[in-house]
Amino acid sequence: MASRIEDYALLGDCYSAALVGKDGSIDWLCWPRFDSDACFAALLGTPDNGRWLLAPVDATARVSRRYREDTLILETRFETDDAAVVVIDFMPPHGDPPDLIRIVVGERGSMPMRTELVVRYGYGAIVPWCSKLDPHTLMAVSGPDMLVLRSPVALRGENLHSVAEFSVGAGERQPFVLGYGPSHLPPPAPADAERELERTERFWTEWSSAHHDAGEWAPEVARSLVTLKALTYAPTGGIVAAPTTSLPEQLGSSRNWDYRFCWLRDATLTLLALMNAGHYEEAKAWRDWLVRAAAGAPEQMQILYGIAGEHRATEWEVPWLCGHEASRPVRIGNAACEQLQLDVFGEVMDALHQARCGGLAASDSAWALQQALLDHLERIWQEPDEGIWEVRGPRQHFTFSKAMAWVAFDRAVKGVEQFGLPGPVERWRSLRDRIHEDVCLHGFDAELGSFVQAYGSRQLDASLLLLPTIGFLPVSDARIAGTIAAIERRLLVDGLVLRYDTAQTDDGLPAGEGAFLACSLWLADAYTLMGRLEDARRLFQRLLALRNDVGLLAEEYDPRAGRQLGNFPQAFSHVSLLNTAHNLSRADKPAQQRSAGLHRRR
Ligand SMILES: OC[C@H]1O[C@H](O[C@H]2O[C@H](CO)[C@@H](O)[C@H](O)[C@H]2O)[C@H](O)[C@@H](O)[C@@H]1O
């Protein structure tokens, strides 16, 4: 059985990623790209669906883990009464050809170890042909793919698994290098594990040294930033929402989705967080990615794309994988790519506006694209959509979607006013006002004293917590105070926030899911804006404590079971954590300094 979601740590090279459990088993790896077929898919099935174990023979060995400083180099320490070893896991961030390196370092005594390599291409289905190039070099080939393991010990075949036992003594270092290459080419050249370790450490240390001063929560902030960087796809600038598919939003349920795509929403928020920390290169790369991905007819703009900007994300179900903790189906691809989600227009306009405010040089093609998107939005903003939560039930007039349409025209007006960009500013001003009026008229329920999920509905929705953050109304407005109070009354489970009541909203799926971590962080932001700093800090500290032992967050959390849920690690959660840390650390500063930050999104 796979480990629990929170027992995994992330390895990555900015091309793809792997998840390694506390038990030393790498249970998820897609090569060579984030969205390639997995060759290790035990995360969603059994060890027979592919994994790479490297661990003490004694399964009762005590385990502790940490990342080396602000890097993505993982050190897992296994200890028994007689011996101790550290397994150093990392992926050198050059991607071409990709390697996954594990160095076993003996610390004390002599530790009996075991390794088991099970390669299954095609998401756990295809058994490769394994052959030995020499006693220490194993090659696994099938179809277009080839993996080559170079190890200090000779592996033997056992029931279609490649296994070996060996011992590591104090002071010894034993390197295992797994490389990938296309099967029609000669095997990839052997990597020098120790030299790659040095290079990888330098890469992450240099990258992390560019962070701005993060204040009170510097280590937590640094971990989230490294995690976001690991979700960027270096060749194109695309950013995946998470490196996994189908980790369940409720254990045993069918709320399982493929997040190995670039959502305009998640990616814009990620880029703002990286920019706020001083990382402008990623922001520029992403903006250029966006301009390429969305190029063409604006009515064909999608809410998500492949990491190189591919339009096709056809969703299908994998019948041979039993699912993480029996959560089925396992899905590849994401049908949400065909949805209309009006908020995305606002997210994109806001991100590009803030990029300009933050000093990212203007780009003519980006502004031209924005103008085309606005023309299209002018025609469609009155249509119902699937909303920020990508419901698979009927389209509705979601209040947050309309408010984000307001954001789109608001930022367009600001682009003209603040940066002298060309455009029909009077038309945009009047559209902005019309949408504001529309939302206040149809999206607010006077009896509840709260904005509601959709026009005419009496349901609440956590996205409405963002209304003051996006500048739609000030937090001092009674309608905002009423909305926050109503959400506190109706959407909190054990102090954490649900997106909406899944039993009352037709999202096309059986009811029930965890609390949504980003929404819980938005509540902390709303408290900060209201001046409820004690509440904000308390909630933030609680959320920080939900991170796993190496600082990672999935999408959701089940407070009753105390379990992380959903794809892992998720950009949305880490971005929201960064924003809340930023907002809180400025909360006691004078108003002018507070509003200077990009996180206020006005
Ligand atoms: O639960 C329903 C939907 O869940 C996914 O969407 C969520 O993740 C996206 C990526 O992080 C995020 O942008 C969105 O706001 C979330 O609701 C899934 O991708 C959808 O297909 C699914 O309907």
If phi over 0 gives left and psi between -120 and 50 gives alpha, with beta otherwise, what is residue 496?
A: beta
CB 522, CB 209: distance < 8 Å:
no
Name the least confident of 441-450, 474-483, 509-518: 509-518
Q: At what angle do helices 533-545 and 517-530 cross, to 10 degrees?
A: 160
- Within 10 Å of residue 160's Cβ, how many Cβ atoms? 12
Give the pLDDT mean for 365-380. Answer: 94
CATH code for the domain defined by 5-196:
2.70.98.40
Q: Is 226 helix (H, G, I), strand (E, B) or coil?
A: helix
Tokens found for residue 477: 């407005």
**Residue from 7, 73, 76 nearest 43 by CA:** 7
- Please give the pLDDT value at position 592: 43
pLDDT in tens, 53-89: 999 999 999 999 999 999 999 999 999 999 999 999 9
Report d(CA 40, CA 47) in Å as an integer: 9
Per-residue model confidence (pLDDT) at position 589: 65
Please state, for a pLDDT cut of 90, what percent of the chain lies above it: 86
Q: Rounded mean pLDDT of 93-111?
A: 95
Nearest CA to ligand 1 atom 19: 257
Q: Is the CB of 241 under 6 A from ligand 1?
A: yes
Residue 92, CB-side half-sphere exposure with 13 Å CA sphere: 20
Distance from residue 191's CA to the centre of ligand 1 (Å): 38
List pLDDT tens digits, range 537-594.
999 999 999 999 999 999 999 999 999 999 999 999 999 999 999 999 888 765 444 3
Q: How large is the average pLDDT for residues 455-471?
A: 97
ipTM reported for the complex, 2 dp = 0.95
Confidence label for 262 from pLDDT (cuts 50, 70 and 90)? very high
Q: Is the CB of 334 under 6 A from ligand 1?
A: yes
Strands (E), 271-418: 304-305, 316-317, 331-332
Which residue lies with its CA nearest to atom 7 of ligand 1? Answer: 389
- 89-93, 173-177, 354-358: the lowest-pLDDT one: 354-358
- Residue 445 scores a pLDDT above 70: yes
Is there an atom of ligand 1 within 6 Å of 388 CB? yes
| C-beta 421 within 6 A of ligand 1 | no
Domain ranges of the chain: 5-196, 211-600
What is the assigned CATH class of domain 211-600? mainly alpha
Q: How far is the CA of 521 from the centre of ligand 1 (A)?
A: 17
User: In the structure, how many helices (H) and strands (E) does the chain have?
Assistant: 14, 29
- Token pair listed for 355: 């990029």
> 558 near 515, Cβ under 8 Å?
yes
SS3 74: strand
Helix, strand, coil shares of the chain as percentages rounded to 5? 35, 25, 40
Our answer on whether the CB atom of 392 is closer than 6 Å to any ligand 1 atom is yes
**Alpha-carbon gap, residue 317 to 331, rounded angstroms:** 5
Most informative mutation of 389, 453, 517 for ligand 1 (most atoms within 8 A of CB) = 389
* Burial class of 319 by CB neighbour count within 10 A (0 to 12, 13 to 18, 19+): exposed
Q: What is the mean pLDDT of the chain?
A: 94
Q: What are phi and psi of 389, to 5 degrees?
A: -90, 5
pTM for this entry = 0.96
Residue 274, pLDDT score: 86
Nearest-atom number in ligand 1 for the CA of 304 is 13
Q: Is the pLDDT confidence value at 349 over 80?
A: yes
Q: Is the torsion defined by CA of 101, 105, 110, 111 positive or negative?
A: negative
pLDDT digits (tens, 9 = 90+) for 306-317: 999 999 999 999
Backbone torsion region of residue 174, taken as left when φ is above 0, otherwise alpha when ψ lies between -120 and 50, otherwise beta: beta
Q: How far is CA 373 from the centre of its chain?
A: 26
pLDDT computed for residue 519 by the predictor: 98
Q: What average pLDDT does the segment 232-248 reach?
A: 96
- Residue 462: closest CA among 518, 536, 504: 518
Task: Quote the ligand 1 centre to 491 CA distance (angstroms).
Answer: 19
Confidence of residue 597 (pLDDT cuts 50, 70, 90): very low
Mean pLDDT, residues 260-276 taken together: 89
